[in-house]
Structure 1
């Protein structure tokens, strides 16, 4: 059966799309501007094109994380500023740069064409193929033990007196949280804005995702328990263990869409390679002038 690639998230724009974005003309006046620095802009159309280039999972995570999305826009703005500076100095007219641009353009055309003729059939994979891939990849589809944790965070920076005060504040908050509404206290007093807005909820995390100080406490807690303040380099964390999910094989229904997308990507990647191999085979054994090749090798030594 077809080997399935390991699951991965594509979190950055592909090299081809990045080049296309950098070489694109400046935004027209009618386009909505998302970010501006001097004469350099990032338009709504550019940002939407980038987001649509991502797989669905990465796209949803990025649009849900506004600070990260802002950093992406800022990086794009910086890239365009560098491009504008290079163009102002005639960099695009340098022969070696023009040659690289032609090569990049040819590569994008080739990749786009190969992708267009290598599309997986609409019905692929079938239910039977999905089940077979699921059965063959159970190790990769086994989720680790995870912990649903909420926190109240008290920052601790400065001298010993400031840290001591932060510790006492955290101890008092832990005491209140054990007898009161943890979520309400976290929303009102926690100094970590993102989780505070959700009543302290930090979501589900595995042991591997926790810093050692947090991990050593969480793994020994009972559901519903509130910890003593835990010191980390940034401050003190008062934790509440909300739920525990034991390690286990994720059901097919849960991973069906992700597995299907991965199988289709693998199918299309294999089809691209098969097309290239077919073109190589069609050349025959005499396509390369060995004497000319030896001359090239000698000239670059």
Structure 2
């Protein structure tokens, strides 16, 4: 594969091999060379893990795979040149490195705490029973929707639909009927509909046509083609989600307790007066 423009010292290789590899593959597999130094597959996958833990690299288009590898190689190249110029010794750079190191370590500690928390089946079931609205799947409506500029046209369409005329016949008139400004046949949950349409749609039985409804978009006529009733997700489908929520809640409480205990023991002392004296507050 040819070197990518703008980075003449980088040799990009083995893109096809990458598509079938995992992070556990042999680290001797080199996927790039930067200034003559080989870059292993494992290092690249570690980089991708930081960019997006959900990323499935092997499923990306070849152009996107190449872009990500080029981006990684560029970053390695620029970092190496920064070290060569001793930019890592500059005070501002060291401050940023220290900041990110501290933040990464703090997040690692929080995550280790979350991972260590056990959640019982009883806690999961109790949370589910007490928070069922969180796990409701709203009703969905498949509507046949026509919007007209003039009320007379909407009333005519309403009558046609109620007499059993296929929606498709009326929708096809959009090309020639200048009063017909919008047509759609689509499925929606109630909250996605325009506020003025929610009540009328929810009140329809399958096959029924609404009264004419006016909004700033025009005069609406809607027929309900299908309806999926609201449902509650089974516990077994959401128990992992609930366990994660409970771990987050418990970890938040534990972290707050750790900070409070550290203050009590004098491990944390805040000197706001010193900040005020320096004019920082």
Larger radius of gyration: 2
TM-score under structure 1 normalisation? 0.46
TM-score under structure 2 normalisation? 0.49
